[in-house]
């Protein structure tokens, strides 16, 4: 009995050190986890602040460089149509008009096409064709803009002049009210040509985003709608679009942002004329093409005016993003109601 009692006493005395070691290990693990969480939080916060700092630096540099132009021309710089580097008279109206018109034409063409492509891939496309066709659409986004520009200048422009501009001018050029839109020299370049090339550039981005958001719709929702006797269009209109409106708007605005800032492709086909376009076939210019064409030789006030154009493009893009947030918030409120 004495031997058993002594063994039990030794076992009882050995338990408290084990418990102490276990609690100390748990405390060390907790301290390490708190340190890791704090480090992760500060690291991700630093990444976010780095992006904000970069944007603030870009904005500040644009403001400083563009200040001489705004100091001389004031707000009239926004609606002045003169652009004369020799006389140092500069205005942004021509470039702004070309940028907005070409981007608008691109969206008018690209959004319906992207919508149709996304619906076909998610609703009607055979399973064996869905993956290769979707991959082919995404590969178009990887084509460099310079390639689009070269294609537009050497292949698209001659065909566009012979088979689109000439017939349209003959058919609609003499009509009242709309005839002015189809006047001008037929050479395959101009605002309409730039808008079409931009449309095919932004089409893959919009189509890919729409396809991805359409695929997020739960299958039970689709199957329930089909079970109630809805057609494919009714399912899309009453189920898919309400469920994915936020992503659809985001995809469209992503394409618009790409169209507003595109440089080389537009430079090749827009015509690069510093005058307001009088028709869809007339040459024009955009903010990005003006920067690409003139920045290398600009000095003094001319250089400051180009920086002012860059600042305006930054502001236009910011306004587009703000409108995107407003549209998304409106869609969310409508969905909640």
Same-domain pairing of 167 and 70 = no
According to the model, what pLDDT value does residue 232 have? 83
According to the model, what pLDDT value does residue 111 have? 93
According to the model, what pLDDT value does residue 334 have? 64
CA neighbours within 13 Å on the CB side: how many for 131? 2
Same-domain pairing of 9 and 29 = yes
CA dist., res. 108 & res. 241, Å (int): 19
Asked if pLDDT for residue 76 goes beyond 60, the answer is yes
pLDDT digits (tens, 9 = 90+) for 190-241: 899 999 999 999 999 899 889 888 888 888 888 888 888 888 888 888 888 8
What does the pLDDT average to over 311-331? 83
According to the model, what pLDDT value does residue 13 have? 52
Asked if pLDDT for residue 127 goes beyond 70, the answer is yes
According to the model, what pLDDT value does residue 25 have? 78
Q: Which of 7-16, 46-55, 217-226, 305-314 has the lowest mean pLDDT?
A: 7-16
Give the mean pLDDT of the chain.
Answer: 84
SS (H, E, C) the chain: CHHHHHHHHHHHHHHHHHHHHHHHHHHHHHHHHHHHHHHHHHHHHHHHHHHHHHHHHHHHHHHHHHHHHHHHHHHHHHCCCCEECCCCEECCHHHHHHHHHHHHHHHHHHHHHHHHHHHHHHHHCCHHHHHHHHHHHHHHCCCCHHHHHHHHHHHHHHHHHHHHHHHHHHHHCCCCCCHHHHCCCCCCCCHHHHHHHHHHHHHHHHHHHHHHHHCCCCHHHHHHHHHCCCCHHHHHHHHHHHHHHHHHHHHHHHHHHHHHHCCHHHHHHCECCCCCCCCCCCCECCHHHHHHHHHHHCCHHHHHHHHHHHHHHHHHHHHHHHHHHHHHHHHHHHHHC
Which of 53, 75, 97 is a domain's end point? 75
Nearest in space to 110 (alpha carbons), one of 147, 137, 136: 137
Nearest in space to 189 (alpha carbons), one of 227, 219, 156, 216: 156
CA dist., res. 210 & res. 243, Å (int): 12
CA dist., res. 65 & res. 303, Å (int): 8
Which of 43, 59, 75 is a domain's end point? 75
Report the percentage of the chain scoring pLDDT > 90. 19
According to the model, what pLDDT value does residue 50 have? 92
Q: How many domains does the chain have?
A: 2
Same-domain pairing of 64 and 117 = no
Same-domain pairing of 120 and 221 = yes
pLDDT digits (tens, 9 = 90+) for 103-123: 999 999 999 999 999 989 888
Same-domain pairing of 28 and 103 = no
According to the model, what pLDDT value does residue 8 have? 45
Same-domain pairing of 268 and 131 = yes
Please work out, in degrees rounded to the nearest 5, the angle formed at the alpha carbon of residue 197 by the alpha carbons of 150 and 96: 110
CA dist., res. 322 & res. 64, Å (int): 24
Asked if pLDDT for residue 154 goes beyond 80, the answer is yes
105 phi and psi angles, rounded to 5 deg: -60, -40
Nearest in space to 199 (alpha carbons), one of 286, 114, 96: 114
What does the pLDDT average to over 30-39? 82
- Place 183 in a pLDDT band, splitting at 50, 70 and 90: confident
According to the model, what pLDDT value does residue 3 have? 55
According to the model, what pLDDT value does residue 221 have? 84
Which of 75, 100, 123 is a domain's end point? 75
Same-domain pairing of 186 and 329 = yes
Asked if pLDDT for residue 329 goes beyond 80, the answer is no
CA dist., res. 237 & res. 222, Å (int): 11
Same-domain pairing of 160 and 280 = yes
Q: What is the CATH number of the domain that holds 176?
A: 1.10.3720.10
Same-domain pairing of 96 and 69 = no
Asked if pLDDT for residue 75 goes beyond 60, the answer is yes
Same-domain pairing of 284 and 321 = yes
| Domain ranges, residue 69 | 1-75
CB 212 within 8 A of CB 141: no
What does the pLDDT average to over 34-60? 88
Bridge partners of 83, per DSSP, are: 90
Same-domain pairing of 104 and 8 = no
pLDDT digits (tens, 9 = 90+) for 245-257: 888 888 888 888 8
Same-domain pairing of 58 and 9 = yes
């Amino acid at each position: 009995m004495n031997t058993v009692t002594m063994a039990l006493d030794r076992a009882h005395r050995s338990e408290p050190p084990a418990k102490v070691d276990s609690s100390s290990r748990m405390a060390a693990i907790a301290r390490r986890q708190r340190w890791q969480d704090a480090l992760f939080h500060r690291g991700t916060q630093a990444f976010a602040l780095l992006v904000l700092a970069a944007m603030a630096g870009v904005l500040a540099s644009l403001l400083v460089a563009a200040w001489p132009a705004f100091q001389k021309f004031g707000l009239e710089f926004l609606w002045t149509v003169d652009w004369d580097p020799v006389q140092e008279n500069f205005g942004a109206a021509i470039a702004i008009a070309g940028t907005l018109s070409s981007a608008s034409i691109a969206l008018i063409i690209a959004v319906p096409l992207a919508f149709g492509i996304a619906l076909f891939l998610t609703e009607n496309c055979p399973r064996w064709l869905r993956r290769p066709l979707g991959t082919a659409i995404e590969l178009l986004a990887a084509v460099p803009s310079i390639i689009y520009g070269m294609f537009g200048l050497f292949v698209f422009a001659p065909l566009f002049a012979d088979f689109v501009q000439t017939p349209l001018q003959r058919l609609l050029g003499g009509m009242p009210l709309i005839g002015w839109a189809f006047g001008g020299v037929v050479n395959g370049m101009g605002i309409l040509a730039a808008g079409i090339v931009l449309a095919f550039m932004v089409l893959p981005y919009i189509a890919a985003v729409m396809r991805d958001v359409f695929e997020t719709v739960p299958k039970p929702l689709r199957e329930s709608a089909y079970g109630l006797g809805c057609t494919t269009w009714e399912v899309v209109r009453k189920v898919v679009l309400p469920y994915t409106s936020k992503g659809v708007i985001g995809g469209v605005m992503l394409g618009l942002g790409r169209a507003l800032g595109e440089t080389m492709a537009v430079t090749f086909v827009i015509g690069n004329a510093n005058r307001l376009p009088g028709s869809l076939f007339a040459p024009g210019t955009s903010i990005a093409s003006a920067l690409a064409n003139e920045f290398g030789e600009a000095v003094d006030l001319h250089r400051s005016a180009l920086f002012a154009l860059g600042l305006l493009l930054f502001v236009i893009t910011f306004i587009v993003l703000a409108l995107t947030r407003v549209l998304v918030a409106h869609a969310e409120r409508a969905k909640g109601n």
